Structure 1
Amino acid sequence: MSARTAPVSPPHDELAGPALRAFFRIADAWGLKNAEARRLLGDPAESTFYKWKKQRDGAPGRDVIERISYLLGIFKALELLFPDPTRADAWIRRPNHAAPFGGGSALDRMLSGNVADLYVVRSYLDAQRGWQ
């Protein structure tokens, strides 16, 4: 596909508010503590995090948008794998002996701070759904 026919993604600014609102809904569903939520977003400054949380809007960078994108995929995959929302939301905190988790939880893996670990969790769930 040439550059002329490549699909155009929405401007970053158009994604910021919806992405932050979705993230905070997921954080509520998963019962994340503020420190955990900040870590999943890549440790933005506390003042920035609390501003985003209060306003549900802001101007996060590309890294934060990428992280939220992975978290949205994880959330959606869990909804598909576990039709019971309580069970889906609890999965991230349960010990897991699958190779990517080594007995820890998916949340433990995601809280490493590396965006690559969000990718690993999402890839694992996609594979469980048969989307390899």
Structure 2
Amino acid sequence: MLVLREHYPVDTLPPQNDGPTLTDAHSTAGLRWLFDRRERWGLTMDDLGTLLGGISRRTLTGWQAKVNAGATVEVSRDVMDRISLLLGIHKALTLIAPSGHENMANEWFQKPVDLMGLQGTSIKSYLLEQGSMEALYYIRRNLDAMRG
């Protein structure tokens, strides 16, 4: 019998810790926030589907109906990661904006900027053009760096 890591037999290795366990309640709360944020960020359902990794409008509409009805929604880890990154982008924009001026944070998401190498493109346009997880990470890291 092959033994790995601190004398655990292969078939009894301790579980790997891949981060916190996410539940349907987490995904439902994230979707509820995102559906509300969608309007403030000027996103269509198709835009939202792009940001979430290619989710169809039909699927999003079904999720929204469930969320609005108080039901829980199960989404993939990839979708949860994307929601988390969008929440982090929102948080960073809010922290950069002057106190009490959240509307500025919403505007900064939509207006062209010359920061972060975007060269006059808005954060929204950049994320939609790229449509990738890497783009979400890029914006999140840069906004976090800007706020210190």
Measured against the shorter chain, the TM-score band is 0.7 to 0.9
Following the alignment from structure 1 to structure 2, what is the Cα–Cα distance between the partners of residues 8 and 124? 23
Following the alignment from structure 1 to structure 2, what is the Cα–Cα distance between the partners of residues 118 and 85? 20
Query: Contact 1:100–1:120 (CA<8 Å) still a contact in 2?
Result: no
Aligned to 2:81: 66
Aligned to 2:108: 91
With CA pairs under 8 Å and 6+ residues apart, which has the higher RCO, 1 or 2?
A: 1
Large movers: runs of 4+ above 6 Å: none
Q: Does 1:126 align with 2:144?
A: yes
Q: Deviations over 1:68-111 (max 9, x none)?
A: 00000011111111131111101011111124312211111111
- Are residues 46 and 125 of structure 1, via their aligned partners in 2, closer, same or farther at CA, if it must alter by over 3 Å? same
Give the TM-score normalised by the residue count of structure 1: 0.85
Larger Rg: 2
Deviation at 1:8, TM superposition (A): 6.1
Query: Contact 2:46–2:56 (CA<8 Å) still a contact in 1?
Result: no
Structure 1 unaligned blocks of 5 or more? none
Give the TM-score normalised by the residue count of structure 2: 0.77
Deviation at 1:7, TM superposition (A): 9.1
Deviation at 1:40, TM superposition (A): 1.0
Identity %: 32
One-letter amino acid matched to 1:122 = R
Structure 2 unaligned blocks of 5 or more? 1-13
